[in-house]
Structure 1
Amino acid sequence: MSPVISRTVEFLAYPPGNLVIFLLIALLLYKWRSAMLITLVIGVLQTVVLSLPVVAEKLMVGLEQQYPPKPERWLQQPLPEAIVVLGAGRNLEAIEYAGRMSASTELERLNYAAYLHRKTGLPILISGSSNEADYMRDVMENTFQVPIRWQEGSSHTTWENAAYSDQILSKAGIHSAWVVTQAWHMPRAMLAFQNRQVNYLPAATSYGSSNFWRHEWLWWIPQANALSRSQTALHEWFGLLSYRLQH
């Protein structure tokens, strides 16, 4: 499935995009007024519920706490032999960088990988699509001043990140490696990286990075940021289910 089709399906699967589906169903039910109204109410209600910070936070915590944060991770013994950073998209609108810049999610991953490298000296593998991997290398070497040992530029999914990265590292004689990604993405990433030739360990970052609701009453006010966070969580939960069913 092409990325455009995949993103379109995903847009229509989660709110607010799926309101289009609810509206179409309601139009088909226009002869049955009660069914039409129920469909519309359900469509609006699910969007409002997922826009509540308290709901978004519950969905996220269930993902993030599967691999709790570890301060001073570099002090653990024995250390792995490498660091794998997963791509997360480019910022094509960054004209101030001539369009050669990682998206904010990817920047968080690169920043943490650079931090771990400075603490340990471990070599880094970056994994993403062809152009994305080039941009990741640019950011790491020019912005973070960190060298890249290996570059994997053929993957378009987390599962492919794992498969292709494993080929490179095992061929290089690496036996263990950290996987760097967001805490909410780590459960799906580790599912993809398990049972490979190399032993992969979680190195999650960005715990609760979008939680701006510290006052109780704000947790019950619908917010766009909370809806976005719920979308991310739902994507990961359904991704986990899909991986388990397929593999």
Structure 2
Amino acid sequence: MDLASEWLAKETLRALFMPPGCLVLLLTIGLWRWQHPYGRRLAGLSTALLYLLSSPIMAGWLMTQVEAPPLPANAPLKQIDAIVCLGGGKRFSAFDQPRGETVNDETLARLRHAARLQRQTGKPLLVSGGSPAGGIAEAELMREILTREFNVPVQWIEAGSNDTRDNATMSAALLQPKHRHILLVSSAYHLSRARRAFEAAGFKVTLAPTDYASREPLNYLAFLPRASAFRTSSTALRELTGSLWYRFRQ
């Protein structure tokens, strides 16, 4: 199976077995078999899960299970050989952009953090991200923004990857053996899994997380369902299943 087909298969399974797809499936089966006790139980279970995953308090707890701790202020960054910034997605309908595509908000947050760290350390920077859904590779868009909007140079572009494992192996082909100790920049929820992938590819990794999920005050609003909380819960669950997928492939 080639990389594009593997990515499509993984995304299809994720859509079916991750929220909201799995909840829709459970509810559909429950309503279809409503006359049977297990049908009513499935419908009730899907409704309960929908509420729980839509509540900010549950979303916040799930994110605490996957987010990496922040980079310490006294981290020995002089020992770093290079900075690697991972892409987090892009927008196809970027009608306000000359090329019609641009990075999404998550990737932009990663780029901002990588730009600050590059100015702070002076270390060379690699951007990593392919185009599994077609169009312009994320890494190309990332380089454009870093150079044009942040005035930060990009030394390497890894534009062939479809997932985190590809990010690691293809970055290793560009950086190793000279640049083995890297400062890895990504969203906080993504870095625990990314670290395993990059260490398996032969890197020594220092994590530089950014874009932490918002933690709201604990009050009655934290128990009310919200679409934004459901998205946060889905992201955390996707990361947990992604970790299992990575371990299965090893």
Unpaired segments of 5 or more residues in structure 1?
none
Q: 1:203 aligns with which of 204, 208, 211?
A: 208
SS at match of 1:179: strand
Task: Answer yes or no: is the 8 Å Cα contact 1:52–1:220 preserved in 2.
Answer: yes
Deviation of 1:77 (Å)? 5.2
1:55 and 1:28 mapped to 2: Cα distance?
29
Q: 1:6 aligns with which of 10, 27, 31?
A: 10
Which residue number in structure 2 is paired with residue 184 of structure 1?
189
Task: Answer yes or no: is the 8 Å Cα contact 2:182–2:203 preserved in 1.
Answer: yes
Deviation of 1:176 (Å)? 0.9
Q: 1:194 aligns with which of 183, 195, 199?
A: 199
Which residue number in structure 1 is paired with residue 248 of structure 2?
245
Letter in 2 for 1:59: L
Which residue number in structure 1 is paired with residue 64 of structure 2?
61
Deviation of 1:35 (Å)? 2.0
2:232 and 2:20 mapped to 1: Cα distance?
12
Deviation of 1:61 (Å)? 0.7
1:135 and 1:100 mapped to 2: Cα distance?
8
Structure 1-normalised TM-score?
A: 0.90
Task: Answer yes or no: is the 8 Å Cα contact 2:78–2:121 preserved in 1.
Answer: no
Task: Answer yes or no: is the 8 Å Cα contact 2:129–2:162 preserved in 1.
Answer: yes
After superposition, what is the alpha-carbon deviation per residue over 1:118-159, rounded to whole angstroms, capped at 9, x for unaligned? 111111001110521111111111111111100111100000
Which residue number in structure 2 is paired with residue 18 of structure 1?
22
Letter in 1 for 2:192: P
Letter in 1 for 2:204: N
Letter in 2 for 1:62: Q
Name the stretch that deviates more: 50-59 or 19-28: 19-28
After superposition, what is the alpha-carbon deviation per residue over 1:55-107, rounded to whole angstroms, capped at 9, x for unaligned? 1111101111xx3113536x625430100011111111221113231111111
Task: Answer yes or no: is the 8 Å Cα contact 2:31–2:43 preserved in 1.
Answer: no
Name the stretch that deviates more: 107-116 or 89-98: 89-98
Percent identical among aligned pairs is 34
Deviation of 1:27 (Å)? 5.0
Letter in 1 for 2:241: F
Q: After the TM superposition, which residues 74-153 of structure 1 pair with which residues of structure 2 at under 5 Å, given as runs?
A: 76=76, 78-98=78-98, 99-129=100-130, 131-153=137-159
1:68 and 1:38 mapped to 2: Cα distance?
39
2:196 and 2:110 mapped to 1: Cα distance?
18
Deviation of 1:229 (Å)? 0.3
Task: Answer yes or no: is the 8 Å Cα contact 1:69–1:207 preserved in 2.
Answer: no
Task: Answer yes or no: is the 8 Å Cα contact 2:127–2:157 preserved in 1.
Answer: yes
After superposition, what is the alpha-carbon deviation per residue over 1:184-223, rounded to whole angstroms, capped at 9, x for unaligned? 1011100111133331211111223x33x32411111111
Which residue number in structure 2 is paired with residue 174 of structure 1?
179
Structure 1 segments (4+ residues) deviating >6 Å: none
Task: Answer yes or no: is the 8 Å Cα contact 2:77–2:121 preserved in 1.
Answer: no
Name the stretch that deviates more: 117-126 or 197-206: 197-206
Structure 2-normalised TM-score?
A: 0.89
C-alpha root-mean-square deviation of aligned residues, in Å?
1.9
Which residue number in structure 2 is paired with residue 45 of structure 1?
48
Which residue number in structure 2 is paired with residue 222 of structure 1?
225
1:161 and 1:205 mapped to 2: Cα distance?
18
1:124 and 1:149 mapped to 2: Cα distance?
6
Unpaired segments of 5 or more residues in structure 2?
132-136
Letter in 2 for 1:190: R
Name the stretch that deviates more: 182-191 or 3-12: 3-12
